[in-house]
Structures are given as structure tokens and as C-alpha cells.
């Protein structure tokens, strides 16, 4: 069948028909363990009854009203996110890219508030912040930017994980730092434990905003509600999306202090952002995670998976590193391995490869013990077979 969908995705030859928990079934009835959770979206798994119930109940009452009116569920959701994070207020949108756009607009308004005519933001090599024009300009991946020049100006790029590189920036136009606590698309790169506190110190010394892109790390994935809570610091701005709605599109940009005062009436908006349906789903997600202790479970489950995979692949000379934080796990090989995704699919396992040679696992928080074993055994066997096939090939 010829598709008239614009070919913006290199799709795999499979269509899913239904899901339950950590598992998906294709239209032929074959079952797959979803170890990527729709790229960190479905942290509660598929068709979670509490989320389905919340969506259905809200759909029967009210889907949408314009943001020119008060939206009670939006106010309730903002209150919950601020209570959990310690930030002051929230703007709601539809995606992580939109959330990062809001953060970048906060930075520019903050710059103008300080009398900086051409505000600039320090961003990181290997980062990913979205595919809108401003967020792809902030992104540290030339492949994402190729063909879309001229890019939006006002970004200064430095190596990820180096506080010294940020300290070395000597530009009076800088007003903020935008960084992922763990780089996901960049290859599941986990910085040292003093990285964020070092960035906080530099930002405080220079009057810059510290803005964290927690689109992938937020809502419990690393074993804390938000990844910054591992390190005893507070950001000025934080962005969220992905797991916030467990599949219902919603993003958020949270801020505190002076950053919370930058987007006033008429300065930013989103037609669908934070409508009653999306907010009801997000509130159900937060309630379900809290009531079932799933933040702590994500951390514990991640440690077991990391340990199990390391044990199984110990001594494999083509495995460069196995790393992670909570349920963000990366297995880096010494060779490009994007074709491994199709091989995994044939074995009934859904994975992803980032930065050409790092297998990325983002499993849902609801894996049971049997699912854990299936994932550890499945990914370890896949890597062992794949590296054996590639043995002797030039890298």
C-alpha cells in the first residue's frame, strides 16, 4: 500500500495493534517486549487501567477549552509539579520541543531584563532539545541541523560533562545554560556526580539561569521524580514532556525566582497546551506513580537490569561500556550497530540505538520479574550474537 504520509521517519516494517503493560502485539498477533517505552513516553506501560479510566472519564465531560479561560485541572497539575519539584510555576504545551522553546524564550526575556540586547545560551555537544528551528539550533548534533541553515543565533556550544568548559566561556551576552542531566539521544551519557552542582555554581557566580532539559529524565525515570534531585541543586528552569502524559501529548516548562516572572500575559501561548484531557492524564500519571512507589522502583529496577546485563556481557571485548541512571541504560559497542534494532525486532524485543553505537534501553517502570529476566537474557544474547557476527570485521 502506498502511503501519503510525509516520509519523515525511517519506519520499521511493523504495525502494532494493542498493548498491555510492558508488551505490545503486532497486527499478526506476535508479542514484543517494549524496552524503549515509546522512547520514554509510556513509563507506566501500555493501556494502564488508571490512565485509561482517567482519559475516558474526562473525555465524557470536557476535552478542551481555550486558555483564555481558567482551566482547573491545569492549575491542579501545576500545583502538583511545583510541589514535587520545588519550582514556582508552570507553562503547559504539547511536547518537549515546545517546552524547550518556552525555556529559551524565558532566557531571552531574562537577558533583555538585564539589558543584554543579543542574549546567548550555553549548550552542550551531543545534546538533543527538539526539532523546531530554535531547539534544533540548540541541539548539539550536526545531522539534525543539516539542510535547515541558517540556524537561530545565540547558542555557544561546549563539551558535555565539563564544568571547566562552561567556566571558560567569556561572552557578556550569555544569560543561561541549557543542559540535559543525562544525555539520552547523545548516547545515554551520564556525567560525574559533581557536574550539575558545578554548573549551578558557575551560573550563580555570573547571574546566568540554569535550565535543565528533563524531557527524558523527568517523572521518575532516573529513580527520582526529577534527575536534578540526585545532586542537591535547584534549577531555575526545567522542561518536561514524554512520560508526563504516558502517551497523551503534554509538555511543561517550570520556573522559579525571577525566571518565573518572564512569561507574562501575551508573551507566550499554546492553543492545546494543558487542556483538560491532557491534564487529567498527567494527574493520573503522577497519582499512579506516587501511590505505587514507582519512582523508587525505577531506581531499584534500573540497578538490577544494569547489574544483570553487565554480568551477562562481562568479558565481551566489543562492549566498550554499559552505563545508566535508573531506567536509562546504554550499552556502547566499538562499532556502529543501528542494524541491531531490526535484529531485535525479529526476536520480539523493541530497542533503540543512539549515537550510532549505543543501544538505548528505556523500559517501563512496570516490568515484573519475568519481564526483567526476558529483557536481560534477550538483550545479552542479542549483543553476544551480534558482536560474534562482527568479529574480525574492521571497525
Is 271 annotated to bind ligand?
yes
Residue 7 lies in a domain: no
> Is 213 tagged catalytic?
yes
Residue 230's pLDDT is 98
Is 149 annotated to bind ligand?
no
* pLDDT at 295 > cutoff 90: yes
Domain boundary, last residue among 256, 272, 292:
292
Considering the domain architecture, whether residues 33 and 175 belong to the same structural domain is answered as: no
CATH of the domain at 335: 3.90.1150.10
Is 171 annotated to bind ligand?
no
* pLDDT at 394 > cutoff 60: no
> Is 242 tagged catalytic?
yes
Is 215 annotated to bind ligand?
yes
Confidence of residue 293 (pLDDT cuts 50, 70, 90): very high
* pLDDT at 350 > cutoff 80: yes
Q: Domains in the chain: how many in total? A: 2
> pLDDT (tens digit, 9 = 90+) per residue, 27-53?
999 999 999 999 999 999 999 999 999
Considering the domain architecture, whether residues 269 and 154 belong to the same structural domain is answered as: yes
Average pLDDT of the residues in 345-360: 97
Active site residue: 128, 155, 228, 365, which one? 128
Residue 239 lies in a domain: yes
Three-state secondary structure along 223-261? CCCCHHHHCCCCCCEEEECHHHCCCCCCEEEEECHHHHH
What mean pLDDT value characterizes the chain?
97
Average pLDDT of the residues in 215-229: 98
Q: What is the extent of the structural domain holding 383?
A: 16-48+293-392
Considering the domain architecture, whether residues 129 and 20 belong to the same structural domain is answered as: no
* pLDDT at 306 > cutoff 60: yes
Domain boundary, last residue among 261, 292, 323:
292
Considering the domain architecture, whether residues 143 and 39 belong to the same structural domain is answered as: no
Residue 1 lies in a domain: no
* pLDDT at 1 > cutoff 90: no
Is 229 annotated to bind ligand?
no
Is 97 annotated to bind ligand?
yes
Active site residue: 226, 228, 236, 242, which one? 242
Confidence of residue 127 (pLDDT cuts 50, 70, 90): very high
Active site residue: 213, 224, 226, 228, which one? 213
| Interatomic CA distance for residues 247 and 332, integer angstroms | 28
Residue 4 lies in a domain: no
> pLDDT (tens digit, 9 = 90+) per residue, 248-290?
999 999 999 999 999 999 999 999 999 999 999 999 999 999 9
Residue 395's pLDDT is 45
CA-atom Rg of the chain in angstroms? 21
Domain boundary, last residue among 248, 264, 292:
292
Cα separation values, 197 from 109, 173, 201, 204, Å: 25, 23, 6, 10
> pLDDT (tens digit, 9 = 90+) per residue, 310-335?
999 999 999 999 999 999 999 999 99
Amino acid at each position: 500500500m502506498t502511503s501519503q504520509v510525509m516520509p519523515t521517519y525511517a519506519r520499521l516494517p511493523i504495525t502494532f495493534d494493542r498493548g498491555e503493560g510492558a508488551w505490545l502485539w503486532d497486527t499478526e498477533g506476535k508479542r514484543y517486549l517494549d524496552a524503549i517505552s515509546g522512547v520514554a513516553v509510556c513509563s507506566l506501560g501500555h493501556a494502564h487501567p488508571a490512565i485509561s479510566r482517567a482519559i475516558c472519564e474526562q473525555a465524557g465531560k470536557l476535552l478542551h477549552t481555550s486558555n483564555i479561560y481558567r482551566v482547573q485541572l491545569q492549575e491542579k497539575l501545576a500545583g502538583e509539579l511545583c510541589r514535587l519539584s520545588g519550582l514556582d510555576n508552570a507553562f503547559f504545551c504539547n511536547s518537549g520541543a515546545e517546552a524547550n522553546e518556552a525555556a529559551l524564550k524565558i532566557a531571552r526575556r531574562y537577558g533583555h531584563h538585564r539589558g543584554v540586547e543579543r542574549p546567548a545560551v550555553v549548550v552542550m555537544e551531543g545534546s538533543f532539545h527538539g526539532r523546531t528551528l530554535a531547539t534544533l539550533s540548540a541541539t548539539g548534533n550536526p545531522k539534525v541541523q543539516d539542510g535547515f541553515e541558517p540556524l537561530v543565533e545565540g547558542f555557544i556550544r561546549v563539551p558535555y560533562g565539563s564544568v571547566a568548559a562552561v567556566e571558560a566561556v567569556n561572552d557578556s551576552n550569555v544569560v543561561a545554560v541549557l543542559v540535559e542531566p543525562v544525555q539520552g539521544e547523545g548516547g545515554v551519557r551520564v556525567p560525574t556526580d559533581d557536574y550539575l552542582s558545578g554548573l549551578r555554581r558557575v551560573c550563580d557566580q555570573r547571574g546566568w539561569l540554569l535550565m535543565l532539559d528533563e524531557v527524558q529524565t523527568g517523572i521518575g525515570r532516573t529513580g527520582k521524580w526529577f534527575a536534578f534531585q540526585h545532586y542537591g541543586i535547584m534549577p531555575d528552569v526545567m522542561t518536561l514532556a514524554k512520560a508526563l502524559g504516558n502517551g497523551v501529548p503534554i509538555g511543561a516548562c517550570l520556573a522559579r525566582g525571577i525566571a518565573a516572572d518572564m512569561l507574562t500575559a501575551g508573551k507566550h501561548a499554546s492553543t492545546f497546551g494543558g487542556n483538560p484531557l491532557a491534564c487529567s492524564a498527567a494527574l493520573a500519571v503522577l497519582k499512579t506513580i506516587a501511590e505505587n512507589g514507582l519512582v523508587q522502583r525505577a531506581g531499584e529496577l534500573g540497578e538490577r537490569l544494569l547489574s544483570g546485563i553487565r554480568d551477562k556481557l562481562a568479558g565481551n571485548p566489543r562492549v566498550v561500556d554499559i552505563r545508566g541512571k535508573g531506567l536509562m541504560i546504554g550499552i556502547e559497542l566499538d562499532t556502529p550497530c543501528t542494524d541491531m534494532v531490526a535484529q531485535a525486532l525479529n526476536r520480539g524485543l523493541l530497542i533503540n540505538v543512539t549515537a550510532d553505537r549505543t543501544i538505548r534501553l528505556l523500559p517501563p517502570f512496570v516490568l515484573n520479574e519475568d519481564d526483567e529476566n526476558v529483557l536481560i537474557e534477550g538483550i545479552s544474547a542479542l549483543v553476544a550474537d551480534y558482536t560474534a557476527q562482527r568479529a574480525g570485521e574492521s571497525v
